[in-house]
Amino acid sequence: MLDLMPTLGSWQPALSGQRCAVATIVACGGSVPRPTGTSMLVSEHGEVLGSLSGGCVEGAVVEAALESMRDGGSRLELFGYTAEDAFAAGLSCGGELEVHIQPADPAALAGLSALAGRDAGTGLALIRRLDAPGAVVVDDPSAFRAVASAELGRLLGNDPVVLGAAAAQLEPLLRGGRAGLVRLESPGGCDPDTEPVTLFVESRLPAPRMLVFGANDFGAALVPAGKLLGYHVTLCDARPAFTGQERFRAADQLATAWPHRYLAAEAAAGRIDPRTVVCVLSHDPKFDIPLLRTALDLNLAYVGAMGSRRSHRQRVDSLLAEGTTAEALQRLHSPIGLDLGAVTPAEVAVSVTAEIIASRGDASAAPLRDRSGPIHATTSPTPASASTARKAEPWT
């Protein structure tokens, strides 16, 4: 549901109090267009907000959502590729989606709509029960403590055993900014007539930071590219005549300070975390060397520095002479960027952001046509029947 927040507040069916159903991807496997947590709303008149697959399964999801509103039940639908039935709703990309569909209370939608104006860069999480009505909004996912939450306690029937078990699974998802299913043993234990407690968690952390050092043509091109990827972008340079230029106003924050001092101060203030990326574009040893020494001592997602191979060799020699370890230098992306044949500042910005994306995991950065196997990382869906329905109240 978090992905619908920006537009939910202006969606007419919700504003007019129409009955709606919410469909959410709760598990996926293979190559799929959208990740776990992606949601779509369907009104009682068949109007749609959002998309789950870009068109492959939406028609079937709308039909299931309308049925859910008619009988008041929730459903779990599994969509995958089938060569046997060319007319079946499925994913041509070959992946699988497990979609939970449930009636949504208009009053609850109104409450969520009130959050639509919240800055997308702020932290927010939503915990929903899929087996019963109820939802909890979490304002600060990184600091949430399940056992201390009265709202979560009520959602789980104030059962301390279930609440304790929930904490172990919920908190890593919330702090990691991830989405996922949490299945808990029901208060009835092994009673086959008692539904297990099933929660779905969506968590959004504050935007990660990109620190661009160097108020030059390359910095001006990288700032909007970083924002496009969802980073909170700071441009820092020690020279006020450069940081004051209009072309850098797109940055979320401008800092006129010696780069290494600025980075050290931000780290000391707790404003740097393991998702932070640092791009050193100043290409000036008096700035670069102390800055890179500071950056390589921190736990950062990415540290890259611009320069020729000759500049890189000189940079490495200087850093080693000043005590930077060979192990720390292995984390330095220098010369910065992937080999795309980039020449212009805009092309270099693409090269740098491509390397940042590739560095997040085990991506090869090779052309997809030269690789075999799934395009996306595989997350196996929870086994489920193609279509199951049960009576359930709307989530609130």
pLDDT in tens, 32-84: 667 888 899 999 999 999 988 766 688 889 999 999 999 988 888 888 655 44
Angle, to 10 degrees, between the axis of helix 285-296 and the axis of helix 309-321?
A: 60
Strand partners, 197: 184
How many residues appear in the chain?
Answer: 396
Closest C-alpha among 20, 88, 23 to residue 51? 23
Comparing 346 with 108, the larger pLDDT belongs to 346
Q: What is the pLDDT of residues 76-92, one digit of tens each?
A: 888 865 544 433 444 45
**What is the spatial distance between Cα 68 and Cα 45, in angstroms, rounded to a whole number?**
13
Determine contact, residues 74/102, Cβ cutoff 8 Å. yes
Q: What is the pLDDT of residues 259-276, one digit of tens each?
A: 999 999 999 999 999 999
Phi, psi of 343 (to 5 degrees): -130, -55
Neighbour tally for 62: CB within 10 Å: 19
Task: Output the average pLDDT for the chain.
Answer: 84
CA 284 to chain centre: 35
Report the pLDDT value the prediction gives residue 90, as an integer from 0 to 100: 45
Report the pLDDT value the prediction gives residue 227, as an integer from 0 to 100: 96
The torsion region of residue 385 among left (phi > 0), alpha (psi -120 to 50) and beta comes to beta
Residues 381-394 have a mean pLDDT of 38
Report the pLDDT value the prediction gives residue 84, as an integer from 0 to 100: 47
Is 395's pLDDT higher than 60? no
Determine contact, residues 293/226, Cβ cutoff 8 Å. no
SS (HEC) of the chain: CHHHHHHHCCCHHHHCCCCEEEEEEEEEECCCCCCCCCEEEEECCCCEEECCCCCCCHHHHHHHHHHHHHHCEEEEEEEECCCCCCCCCCCCCCCEEEEEEEEECHHHHHHHHCCCCCCCCCCEEEEEECCCCCEEEECCHHHCCHHHCHHHHHHCCCCHHHHHHHHHHHHHHHHCCCEEEEEECCCCCCCCCCCCEEEEEEEECCCCEEEEECCCHHHHHHHHHHHHCCCEEEEEECCHHHHCCHHHCCCCEEEECCHHHHHHHHHHCCCCCCCCEEEECCCCHHHHHHHHHHHHCCCCCEEEECCCHHHHHHHHHHHHHCCCCHHHHCCEECCCCCCCCCCCHHHHHHHHHHHHHHHCCCCCCCCHHHCCCCCCCCCCCCCCCCEEEEECCCEC
Neighbour tally for 193: CB within 10 Å: 6
Q: Is 18 exposed, middle or buried (0-12, 13-18, 19+ CB in 10 A)?
A: middle
For residues 363, 367, 368, 373, the Cα torsion angle rounded to the nearest 10 degrees is -60
Report the pLDDT value the prediction gives residue 369, as an integer from 0 to 100: 83
Q: What is the pLDDT of residues 348-362, one digit of tens each?
A: 999 999 999 999 877
* Residue located via tokens 């949430």: 144
* Residue located via tokens 């449930």: 102
Comparing 82 with 277, the larger pLDDT belongs to 277
Domains, the chain, ranges and CATH? 1-117 (no CATH), 121-206 (no CATH), 209-370 (3.40.50.720)
Report the pLDDT value the prediction gives residue 189, as an integer from 0 to 100: 55
Amino acid, res. 318: S
Residues 242-255 have a mean pLDDT of 94
Is 191's pLDDT higher than 80? no
Report the pLDDT value the prediction gives residue 52, as an integer from 0 to 100: 85
Q: Whole-prediction pTM value?
A: 0.71
Q: Select, from the ranges 103-112, 201-210, 350-359, the one with the highest average predicted confidence (pLDDT).
A: 350-359
348, two tokens: 């270099």
Phi, psi of 242 (to 5 degrees): -95, -45
Strand partners, 22: 41, 102
Comparing 293 with 394, the larger pLDDT belongs to 293
Report the pLDDT value the prediction gives residue 377, as an integer from 0 to 100: 57
